Each structure stands twice: as C-alpha cells, then as structure tokens.
Structure 1
Amino acid sequence: MLALRLARGGHPLTLLRRLLVACATAVVGFLLLAALSHALAHPQQSGGSLVRLVWCLAPLAAAVQFAAAVARTEPGSRSLSALDTAGVGPARIPLLAAVSTAMSSLLGSAVALVIYLHLRGQLASVPFDGAAVELLAAGHPLPFAATLVLLCVPPLVAAGAAALATRPGMLPAVAAAGAGTGSGAHTGTHSTDGAGHGTGGHRERTADEREAQSFRVLPGSLPAAVTLPWGTALIAAGLATETYASRSPKPLSLSAVLSNSAPGVLGGWLLTALGLVLAGPGITQLCGRLLAVGRPGAVRLLAGRVLQQESARIGRPLGVLCAVAAGGLAAAELYGASPQVGARMFGPLALLGAALVVVCVTASALTAAAESRAARKPANAALIRLGAPRRLLRGAAVLRSAVVCVVLGALTWAVGQLAALPLTT
C-alpha cells in the first residue's frame, strides 16, 4: 500500500522514470516472446532459438541496470526521516524499492503481452492487428506456462536488482547531509546574548566548513587502487583472447560472431566489456586526480575533488556506456567489411534490442549523474554561503564533464578499433 501511495503521489520526473522502466520491461518481454515464437515455428532449429534467447540477456541486463538506477533515485529511498515516521526503517527500504520496481515492471510485461498478441492477430477489431503474423509464428498455439515464465523473469530480476541497489550502505547520504545542514542552521540561530551570537556564528561557520569538506576523498579509496588494474587486465585478456581465437584463413563476419560460430571471439568481447565496466570508477577517479595535479586553481581543484568523490557512483554506469559504445564501434567495423553478410543478422527484433540497450545504458548514466548532483546539493549550498560564486560551480561542472567525455571517448574508440582489428585484417 505504501508503494502504491508513493507511486500515486510522486513527482512528475519520478513518474516519468517509472514509466521508462515499464517501457524497457515491455520491450524485453516482447523480445523474449519473440524468441519463444521462433522456437515454436522452427522446432528443428533448437540451436538458433537458443542463441536468440541468450541474446535477450543483453537487453534484460540493460533494463535491469536502469531499473536499479531509478530505484536509487526515488524519493522514498532517500527520505529516511519521513520513512521512519511512517514506521519503515532502513532495513525495509529494499523491500519497498523492490515492490515499486516490480509494479512498474509488471505493467511493462502486461503491455508486452498485449502488443505481442495484437501483432499475432489474436486481438480483433484493433488497427494493425496481425501485422507480424509470420514473424511471431501466429499459426502455432502459444504455451501458457512458457509465456508466463518468460514474462515474470524481467519483473523478478528488476525487483531483485532494485533491492540490492537500495540496501543499507548503498544509498547516497543526501538525508544525512541535509540533516547536518539543518542542525547547523538551528545551532546558529538559537543564541540570545552577545556571546551567544558569537558562539552561534562560530558554530554555523563550523557546520558550513564541515559540509564543504565533504568533497574530500578518503586516502586509499577503492576505485583507482583496485578496479582500475583489474579492469585493465580484463581488457587486455579479452583482446588477447579475441586475437588468438580469430586466427583463420579468412576474416570472420559479423554474423559468424553474433551467431556464436566463433565462441572465442565472443568470449573475448565479453571479457573486454567486463573490463571496461570494472575500470569505469578507477578511470573516473584518475581523471579527477589528473585535474587536481600540481597547483590547480579553484575551478580545477573543485572539479577534480568532485570526480574523485563521485567516481564510485558515476563510474560504473559510464563504464557500461563505454562498453556498449565500444561494442557498437567494433560491430560497425565488421558490418562495413561485409555488409551483405551482416545485413542478414539485423532484423527488426535485433534493431529493437540494440536500441533498447543504447537507450537504457544512456539513461542509467544520466540517472547516476542526477543522483550525484542531488548528493552534492548540501555541499554546494555550503560553498555558496561561504562566498563561492555560482560561476565557479558551473565552471567546475563543465570542466569535469569535458574531461570525462574526452578521456572515456578516446578509450572507447581505442578499444573498439582494437576489438575489430583482428577480425578485419
């Protein structure tokens, strides 16, 4: 009931995010049902049907990542004091996030089933009824149990990911920072005599300085020290595996790679993508350290400190985005080498799945950036009260965005070119 009330009284932006989660789940459910239709229409091609079903894992993973990112930014998971008043402690926040995500995902699964039945021609008196009769094997009866299981997979996985993303210790400390601000202001305003005014003003300045120091990074932080070396090692191992597996008399085509005819190449791509995801936080923190090297000015110092502090929050979504972009560049290189062979692999369902992956990973990165911005609001307010001009904050935001785009863009281009080079020469 609480999840329903939060969904009904949410901010329009929050409702839009939940609607996007429902749309992503609907696309994933439709792709799963389409793979089931291929298995029904071609019972003798069980291997091809299994490959289609396995490739549905990529859109599923992208949609689940987006659902988890949305669950982290929902007001219910961050308004800890309001939830405590309602009797919901921190231990029950993951359950609340899982229920809210499951509601949106179940709505998407229901929409997917309606669209699927409509395109199969089983809903009469509706425009475009039966528009994909051959593609969706409308001549074969649809098994109820298999359909129910496939449609329940995305909501269950998304709900589990939302619960893991909002468990205690994984949420941004927005409420705590806000509470610190409020307590500092309260301490500064409850002074009655002259000495009290001086003491109150001193306490308010101390609170502001404590909030401004939230940009400071703990020494020996995890991303750059651990994830960057391991991510680099996985990228190198993936490229080496792909190079070794691609040794053949003639170059491999894109269809051979995507149809699992060259499992070593596909495994190398997956290792490279995993390395980019793992190295994302470390690369982001390294960009922050490079900005703050030497004797930086206020803009460069602030931009570098923010990147170092927020690397764990925004680094992994950026790493996923880089992995998808690098895979797209490598696929484009292979498609350009043999367009006639690669064109057979890109039907409407493949394009729909690829578009969903791109949209979901981009939306996840933007959602993580919005979450990071919300977490910095108390510190930004403290800096403004201390006299920092707003153009300083805007300049730092532009600088860190430009540095991250340049560094990650160059890395993505290099990895994409290296991944396609052994298959095109």
Structure 2
Amino acid sequence: MLALRLTRAARPAVQLRRLLVAAASAGTGFLLLSCLGYALNRPEAADAAALRLAWCTLPLAATVYLALAVARTDPGTRPRPGLSAVGLGPARLMAISALTTALSCTLGSALALLFFLHLRGDLTGMPFDGAAADVLATGVPLPLPATATLLAVLPATATTAVAVALRPKDPRPRPAAEPHPTGSGTAGADGDETAPNGEPDARPPAPDSGVRTPVGLPWGVALVAAGLTAHAYAGRSAPALPVLLGWLLTATGLVVASPGLTHLCGLLLQACRPGALRLLAGRVLMTEAARIGRPLGVVSAVASAGYAMTTLYDDPAAAFGPLAALGALVVAGSTVATLLTVAVEARQCRAGTTAALLRLGAPAGTLRVAAALRAAALLALFAPLTLVIAALSALPLTR
C-alpha cells in the first residue's frame, strides 16, 4: 500500500518516466507474444521461432536498462534524514523501488496482452482483415503457462535488477592500516629493526581531487577494433552469427570506452587557457563521466547499428516488417529515454553545487550556457564517432 501511495503522489515528471517504462514494457511484451504466436502457427519452423525469440533480448535489455535508470531518479524512494525513525530505512526504500518497477512493468505486460488478444480477434472481431494472422496464431488457443511465462520475464528481470542495484550498502569506511609511530623502529622480516630516524614506511596519501579517471578506455578501443575486425573477415556472404558477434563486440566496446571518452571531452574543454565557463563545463563532464558515459555509449551503439542496417539493404522498408520496426522503436526509444533520465539524475546530484554557486553570485545564465556547452562538446565527439563506426561496420557487408 505504501508503494501505491508513493506512486500516486509522485510529481508529473516522475509519472511520465514511469509511463515510459510501462510503454517500453508493453512493446517488449507484444514482441514476446508475437514470437509465441509465430511458433504456434508454424511448429515446423522451430529454428526461425528461436531466432525471433533471441532477437527479443535486445528490447528486453533496453527496457530493463530504462527501468533501472527511472528507479534511480525516483525522488520518493531516495533516503532522507528521519525516514529510518518511521521504519523507512534503505532496505525498505529499495523494496518500494523494486515494487514500483514491478507495477510499471506489469502494467505494460497487461496492455501488451490485451492488444495481442484484440488483434487475434479473441476480444472483438478480427481487425485489419486478418493481415497479421501469421504472427498471431489466429484460431489456435494460446497456452496459458507459456503466455504467463513470457509476460513475467520482463517484470521479474527489471525488479531483480532494481533490487540488486539499489541494495543497501555498508556506509562505514573500510579500516585503514595503522601507520607506524614516528621515531620508533619497526621490525623487519628477519627480526631486525629499521633505523628510528629513517623515512616512515607509509607516505601520506595525495589529496583527493574528487574526480576519478575512468579506466575502461583502452579495453573499449580493443573491443571496438575486435568487432570491426570480425566484420571485415565476415563479409556479406558469411552467416549471421559472425556478423552478430562483431556487432556485439563493437557495441560492448563503445559502452566500455564511453566514460573515458566523456572524461577526455571534459579535459579538452579545459585545455588552452580556459575561462570560468569552460572550466565549469569541463569539470562537470569529468565528474559525471562514469554516470553519463555508459548511456551515451549505449545510444551510440544503437545509432551505429541502426545506420549500418539501413545502409546494408537497398530497400529497408521491404527488409523490415512491422515487428522489426516495433523492436527498433522500443530499443531506440528506451536508450534515448535512459540517457535523458540519467541527465535528470546528474542534475539532481548537482543540486547542492548549483545552489552553492547561485548563493556565491554566479549568474543563472552562465550555468545554462555551461550545460549547453557540455551538450555541444559531447555531440561534437560522439556524433562523428558513431558515423565512422557505423560506416566501418557496414563497409565489409556491402561489398
């Protein structure tokens, strides 16, 4: 009941993000049910049905990623002082976030089932003159266990991902090793003591700058190179598995390398005698590289794959049917919505810093210009990179 009250009392922006999760869940659920209908209508084509079901993992993963991002930015389930006194500790808030995610995904799955039954003619007459009877298995009874299992995959996966990601962590710092007293000898490995007036064993740590440099850039570049190499050796006449493996390696490399590229973009903004505006924009990019880098990499991977697929076929409209278009819409829409949601999360995390800058007299227009500068810098880096990787991925397949 508490989760329902928090869901109902949320602001319109939060409700909109939850509706986006429900819409993505509905699209993914309809794709899964379409795979079931295709398998029921063509029991002899088991391999084709399994391949269709395997392709559904892409919209499934994109929807779970969106649900996780929405759960992170939910202000109603964020720990605040005083909530533990009324029984709303971190574990209880995590459970509420997981339950809210389950409600949104279950709503989408229910809508997918209703629309699927409507198209089959089980609720009303057959719409569209039975044009989609091939993937709907019209006239064949739907097996209830298989239907329930397919519709429960997305809510269960998204709820588990949210529960694992938002699980309470131990706030206590790890105990550090006690330094040796200054001026006293320390026993060595053989029982000898070092000189009392020598240098201490542990040097004082360097001051923390507050910005951690992402370490995945070399690995991401290596994965992208491996994926492009797999495309180059595959060729147009190769089976689908090497091509899919190459795209998977390339997409993984983009996701791994994107935090490092975002951090590098922030460094470039501060190069060559920067002013206060470029310093502010670059510092924010460096600080948020790990948070916004991975969604940027996912969007870049999806965009490059979509561009490569459209250039691979002479007539994309003939090659992609309505279900493929729905899958592409779910994947692209979920990744873009995830990026925007992460941007909202980053803005919420900067709320204290922004308020401090405003109290110090920083103009609000300067902060908006810095945000626009960050967006322009990221676009200038990732847009050409996406086009280059898409062209290199499609080049061996078009020869």
| TM-score, shorter chain, exceeding 0.5 | yes
In 2 relative to 1, CA 129–114 (structure 1 residues): closer, same or farther, beyond 3 Å? farther
Q: Which residue of 2 aligns with 1:242?
A: 231
The runs of 5 or more residues in structure 2 that have no matched partner are 172-207
Q: Which residue of 2 aligns with 1:367?
A: 341
How far apart are the structure 1 equivalents of 2:279 and 2:170? Answer: 27
Q: Secondary structure at the match of 2:307?
A: helix
Give me the identity figure in percent. 54
Aligned-residue offset at 1:399: 0.8
How far apart are the structure 2 equivalents of 1:234 and 1:127? Answer: 47
Which residue identity does 2:297 align to in structure 1? G
In 2 relative to 1, CA 6–154 (structure 1 residues): closer, same or farther, beyond 3 Å? same
- Contact kept, 8 Å, 2:94 with 2:167, in 1: the verdict is yes
How far apart are the structure 1 equivalents of 2:126 and 2:49? Answer: 30
How far apart are the structure 2 equivalents of 1:61 and 1:227? Answer: 22
How far apart are the structure 2 equivalents of 1:122 and 1:407? Answer: 51
For residue 353 of structure 1, the aligned residue among 317, 327, 346 is 327
Q: Which residue of 1 aligns with 2:276?
A: 298
- Contact kept, 8 Å, 1:287 with 1:304, in 2: the verdict is yes
Aligned-residue offset at 1:78: 2.0
Aligned-residue offset at 1:82: 5.4
How far apart are the structure 2 equivalents of 1:125 and 1:389? Answer: 62
In 2 relative to 1, CA 56–391 (structure 1 residues): closer, same or farther, beyond 3 Å? same
In 2 relative to 1, CA 20–217 (structure 1 residues): closer, same or farther, beyond 3 Å? farther
- Contact kept, 8 Å, 1:227 with 1:281, in 2: the verdict is yes
Greater Cα offset, 401-410 or 287-296? 287-296
In 2 relative to 1, CA 78–290 (structure 1 residues): closer, same or farther, beyond 3 Å? same
RMSD: 2.1
Q: Secondary structure at the match of 1:80?
A: coil
- Contact kept, 8 Å, 1:231 with 1:276, in 2: the verdict is yes
CA offsets, 1:272-316, max 9 Å, x none? 001111111111111001111242100000000000011111111
How far apart are the structure 2 equivalents of 1:387 and 1:350? Answer: 52
CA offsets, 1:3-62, max 9 Å, x none? 111011111111111111111111111100000111111111111101100001111111
- How many aligned residue pairs are there? 363
Aligned-residue offset at 1:413: 0.7
Q: Which residue of 1 aligns with 2:247?
A: 269
Which residue identity does 2:26 align to in structure 1? A
Q: Which residue of 1 aligns with 2:21?
A: 21
How far apart are the structure 2 equivalents of 1:234 and 1:142? Answer: 43
CA offsets, 1:187-218, max 9 Å, x none? xxxxxxxxxxxxxxxxxxxxxxxxxxxxx953
CA offsets, 1:388-416, max 9 Å, x none? 12222122111111000110111101110
Q: Secondary structure at the match of 1:284?
A: helix
Aligned-residue offset at 1:81: 2.4
Q: Which residue of 2 aligns with 1:99?
A: 99
Which residue identity does 2:217 align to in structure 1? L
Matched, 1:392 2:392: no
How far apart are the structure 1 equivalents of 2:209 and 2:376? Answer: 21
Matched, 1:218 2:196: no
CA offsets, 1:137-194, max 9 Å, x none? 11222111100100000100111122233234699xxxxxxxxxxxxxxxxxxxxxxx
Q: Which residue of 1 aligns with 2:395?
A: 421
How far apart are the structure 1 equivalents of 2:209 and 2:310? Answer: 40
Which residue identity does 2:14 align to in structure 1? T
For residue 386 of structure 2, the aligned residue among 373, 395, 412 is 412
Q: Which residue of 2 aligns with 1:313?
A: 291
1:4-403 counterparts in 2 under 5 A?
4-81=4-81, 83-124=83-124, 132-168=132-168, 217-218=209-210, 221-223=212-214, 226-246=215-235, 251-252=236-237, 261-336=239-314, 339=315, 343-403=317-377
- Contact kept, 8 Å, 2:79 with 2:89, in 1: the verdict is no
Which residue identity does 2:210 align to in structure 1? L
- Contact kept, 8 Å, 2:313 with 2:319, in 1: the verdict is no
As a proportion of its length, which structure holds more helix?
1
- Contact kept, 8 Å, 1:238 with 1:268, in 2: the verdict is yes
Q: Secondary structure at the match of 1:163?
A: helix
- Contact kept, 8 Å, 2:79 with 2:90, in 1: the verdict is no
Aligned-residue offset at 1:91: 2.8
The runs of 5 or more residues in structure 1 that have no matched partner are 172-215
In 2 relative to 1, CA 51–134 (structure 1 residues): closer, same or farther, beyond 3 Å? closer
How far apart are the structure 2 equivalents of 1:170 and 1:315? Answer: 26
How far apart are the structure 1 equivalents of 2:60 and 2:170? Answer: 22
How far apart are the structure 1 equivalents of 2:25 and 2:278? Answer: 41
- Contact kept, 8 Å, 1:217 with 1:309, in 2: the verdict is no
Aligned-residue offset at 1:266: 1.2
Aligned-residue offset at 1:343: 4.9
How far apart are the structure 2 equivalents of 1:287 and 1:84? Answer: 41
